[in-house]
Amino acid sequence: KGGDKGGDKGGDKGGKGGKGGGDKKEEKKEVDPAKERAKQLKAVIKEGGKKGVELEGASDMGGLDFFCTSVDTPDGDMEFLKECVSAMNAEPDPSAEERKGGAGHIGKMVFSAGAKQLIMVATVPADKQSKVNAKEWMAHVAASVGGKPVGEQSAAIAHGEADADPDKGKFPIKMKDTALAAGIAYLKEKGCFPEGGDDDDDSDVAFGDDAFDDL
């Protein structure tokens, strides 16, 4: 009898434990991809709005019309990066509690490193296209990391991507630094970025990765 009871109880408990484990697994699966994406999009737009204000402030202080910078929340997703850049360029709402955007008048190249690729978006307003053409700028920068232009390509806006290749030591986070440097070098060639002098140290910081965290 003792054996029977022990066996029954042990069996019942084991069964219940198995059931509970199954329920937990099911709960983990119940993640709505659409909701998760909507949540990420909200973060993307928030970061873009904040970065736009920072770019606008840095431009006002330094008198610079072009910037290269990177963002985190798009995480290598082109759709998200486009939304992020749109948020940067949006006209600020004067009635809003917090200022957002305001960088539409600034030429910029924005980078996002994901797990598998580096993506890039360049926008140049009409009054600055005689100095820098977004399509040509993108072609130069994408080539620096073995990438290529993708999607829309014009004087006003251009997109690019570069795939990771771990076997060749190509990681998006490292490629981003190379691309940022290439973007700045191109601006210098065009006379749109200060060469040398005391101001150059500050400007390099302003153009680099995570440029505006300290502003």
Could you read off the pLDDT of 128-182 as tens digits, one per residue? 999 999 999 999 999 999 999 999 999 999 999 999 999 999 999 999 999 999 9
The per-residue pLDDT of the chain, averaged, comes to 84
Query: Averaged over 192-205, what is the pLDDT?
Result: 51
- Which comes out higher in pLDDT, residue 141 or 10? 141
Predicted TM-score (pTM) of the model is: 0.78
Q: Is residue 87 over pLDDT 80?
A: yes
Q: Is residue 197 over pLDDT 50?
A: no
Indicate the pLDDT class of residue 27, thresholds 50, 70 and 90: low
Q: Among 69-73, 199-203, 206-210, where is mean pLDDT lowest?
A: 199-203
Residues 173 and 175: their CA atoms lie apart, in Å, by 6
Q: Is residue 23 over pLDDT 60?
A: no
Please report, rounded to a whole number, the percentage of residues in the chain having pLDDT higher than 70. 77
Give the number of residues written for the chain. Answer: 215
Indicate the pLDDT class of residue 28, thresholds 50, 70 and 90: low
Please report, rounded to a whole number, the percentage of residues in the chain having pLDDT higher than 90. 72
Query: Averaged over 111-117, what is the pLDDT?
Result: 97
Strand ranges across the sheet with 148-153: 66-70, 107-113, 117-123, 157-163, 148-153
Q: Is residue 212 over pLDDT 90?
A: no
CB of 116 closer than 8 Å to CB of 69 = no
Residue whose C-alpha is closest to residue 137's, from 153, 118, 152: 153
- Give pLDDT, residue 193: 87
Q: Is residue 71 over pLDDT 50?
A: yes
Give the 3-state DSSP-derived string for 147-204, with helices as H, strands as E and coil as C: CEEEEEECCCEEEEEEECEHHHCECHHHHHHHHHHHHHHHHHHCCCCCCCCHHHHHHH
